[in-house]
Structure 1
Amino acid sequence: MKNILKYTLLIFISLNLNNCSIYDDGGGVTVTGESKTYTLVSVDDPNIFGTARFIENTNGSAIVELELIGTPSGGLHPAHIHFNTAAEGGDIAVTLGTVDGTTGFSSVIVSQLDNGTAITYDELLQFDGYINVHLSASDLGTLVAQGDIGENELTGEAKVYELDSVDDPMISGTATFQERVNGEALATLDLENTTDGAMHPAHIHANTAAEGGDIVFTFNSVNGTTGLSQTNVDTITYAEVLTIDGYINVHLSASDLGTLVAQGDIGQNELTGESKVYALSAVDVPSISGTATFFERVNGEALAVLDLLNTVDGEMHPAHIHAGSVATAPGAILFTFNSVNGTTGVSKTNVAVLDDDTAFGYDDVLTVDGYINVHLSAGDLATLVAQGDIGINE
């Protein structure tokens, strides 16, 4: 309900602004009728938000009108256009009018940057910048509203990826990529149950999480107090994010990158929601059994998760897909999984090709003439801890 009210008020502001501003400064400067409105979102006070409206003048300059809701009566809120995106931060480019807290309004004519460089209305609409509205002249560090403008404006297109728990089962969240007008993206990592004061480095890595890979892109660290990180993604475009062969890791700290607090496949490696579970029955060790689950990826490959109960800490159990069925075993090895970790009972493997490099994806798993063997150890492949038919042999 609160969000509905907020957007209703923003629409009301926009409609009112579109019906006013027949502006004449006494020197013959009048408006052309062209205007552009940007959203200013809450920052340090969730109750303050509004709009910035750029209005074209006949001489090419612009009127910049700021309209905020929720400002305290009597307050004076300095405002500026800064260089870069809000996620990056940047120096002041243009000093705007001071918002009157009583009315929530300010208006100023802009024809040049603070350094004297001329700028037109059209150039402002292409500007690499953002607006900050501050609490007061003596407290510029506290922001009451903020919004990207020009080429950094968000188009409304967005993609959300899940970030699952890894080493801490309490921490999970999402990674949201929002498209900018210039094709770049705003990335927002939002985690639950992070620790106050902690800072969690985060990256996009190449390949799938099951495979591992080098760092492709570095996010601003997730602030444990808020659980948030916002980063401008400029070396990878928004469109490329949707198709990248990659995954996200969020680490415990800069000094402990080996401990992961959250992780998720993105781009072409995203899971579609389709999956198939096969039973793995006990064989030579009656206490060990489990499942093999194959999850479909957007690119048609699969994530294979072997999950066994009652495995022994420290043991590593090789596993394979073999040709034929359990009844006709032994069969040749078709595919090698990452070994099952006895401490966790889990193995995760990306399934894209067979061991002979023949393409082998999710759909192929469902129709393969095969079965799975999980072995006691690399030195004792003859002892089987779990086994199950898959594909057409299920």
Structure 2
Amino acid sequence: MLIFVSGCKKDEVPPKTSTYNLMVKDVLGVSGEVTFTETSSTVTTIDIALTGTPLGTHPAELRMNSAAEGGAVVIALNPVNDSGISSTTTTLKTYSQLMDFDGFIQVHKSSSEPNIILAQGDIGGNVITDIYKTYILDTIGTFGVSGTAKFAKRVNGNTLLTVTLTGTIPGDFYPATINLGSIESVGGGPVVLTINDIDGTFGKGYTNIRELNSGINISYDNWLVYDGYLNIYQVSVGLNNIICHGNIGSN
């Protein structure tokens, strides 16, 4: 008598994937996402899908650091086509390495216009979490500039600082610093961190924070208890040029 044994396949484990948002930068209406798929233990597939892209092919890269900082190209990706699609397989970094990577994706308008960025977004350790703290920035005198400073925690513990102002003048740029002490400090406290200028046209400024000017590392959690305040200046950094300020951290 012959006995036939029917074997059952074990359920296949789906590949690991992670998707990140790509946001508009210089060309309005462009947005999308990038998906990382663990094709094998040594191969990762990086798929970009954008909407609103103009005609032509658009260079794309994985770069070091955060989008707020900019950084060198780590992996040159296949260009995004007319349909907003790009797919690249790489063995330069494993899926696990990319999930912790300090980097961002950037897509340009064209090879002849590399400074025009269609879309970009942080990945891996640079992804912004839902944890943040916002502080009020009050106007000084009659300048009429006020706003907020939002400290947002990244997965890797670093901080994205977003300063949002109203009352700024289009075309002007406003220097900003974080100082030791509080806004009540007589004579002002020393500058501990110079942050990126605020663009008066949009009333926005973005700074990725890893360390103070002195080189000392500082995390998001450190900022929550920091004895400091933030100054916005007109034209240049100086006590007589402060037009807006606010306490942060333990203050």
* TM surpasses 0.5: yes
- Alignment-derived partner of residue 223 in structure 2: 365
1:123 match: none
Matched with 1:96 is none
In structure 2, distance between residues paired with 1:249 and 1:382: 39
RMSD: 2.3
Which residue number corresponds to residue 159 of structure 2?
302
Structure 1 unaligned spans of 5+: 1-21, 23-31, 39-153
Q: Which residue of 1 aligns with 2:31?
A: 172
Q: Is the 8 A contact 2:35 2:47 kept in 1?
A: yes
Which residue does the alignment assign to 1:266? 123
Alignment partner, residue 134 of structure 2: 277
1:356 aligns with 2:214: yes
Contact 1:162 1:264 in 2 (8 A): yes
Question: Which residue does the alignment assign to 2:198?
Answer: 340
Q: Which residue of 2 aligns with 1:222?
A: 80
Give the match for residue 190 of structure 1.
Answer: 49
Give how far 1:252 is off: 1.1
> Is residue 2:27 matched to residue 1:162?
no
CA distance in 2, matches of 1:33, 1:364: 57
The separation in 2 between residues aligned to 1:236 and 1:285, in whole angstroms, is: 54
Question: Are 1:284 and 1:383, in contact at CA under 8 Å, matched by a contact in 2?
Answer: no
For structure 1, which segment, 349-358 or 282-291, has the greater mean C-alpha deviation from structure 2 after superposition?
282-291
Deviation at residue 233 of structure 1 after TM alignment: 2.0
| Structure 1 residue 183: Cα displacement | 2.6
Letter in 1 for 2:59: P
Q: Is the 8 A contact 2:126 2:154 kept in 1?
A: yes
Residues 188/300 of structure 1: CA separation in 2 closer, same or farther (3 Å cut): same
8 Å Cα contact 1:208-1:247 kept in structure 2: yes
User: Looking at both structures, which has the greater relative contact order when contacts are Cα pairs under 8 Å and sequence separation is at least 6?
Assistant: 2
Counterpart secondary structure, 2:29: coil
CA distance in 2 between counterparts of 1:215 and 1:325 reads: 40
Indicate if the aligned counterparts of 1:201 and 1:251 stay in contact, CA closer than 8 A: yes
Whether contact under 8 Å (2:175, 2:237) holds in the other structure is no
Aligned equivalents of 1:360, 1:294: Cα separation in 2: 13
Q: Percent identity?
A: 35
Gaps of at least 5 residues in structure 2 are: none
**Paired residue for 2:102?**
245
The alignment covers a number of residue pairs equal to: 246
How many Å apart are 1:319 and its aligned residue? Answer: 0.7
Please list the CA deviations of residues 13-44 of structure 1 after superposition, one character each: whole Å capped at 9, or x if unmatched. Answer: xxxxxxxxx9xxxxxxxxx9798999xxxxxx
Are the equivalent residues in 2 in contact too, given 1:293–1:305 (CA < 8 A)?
yes
Which one-letter code corresponds to 1:157 in the other structure?
K
SS at match of 1:240: helix
Q: CA shift at 1:379, angstroms?
A: 6.5
Whose Rg is larger?
A: 1
1:388 aligns with 2:246: yes
Aligned counterparts of 1:379 and 1:331: Cα–Cα separation in 2: 13
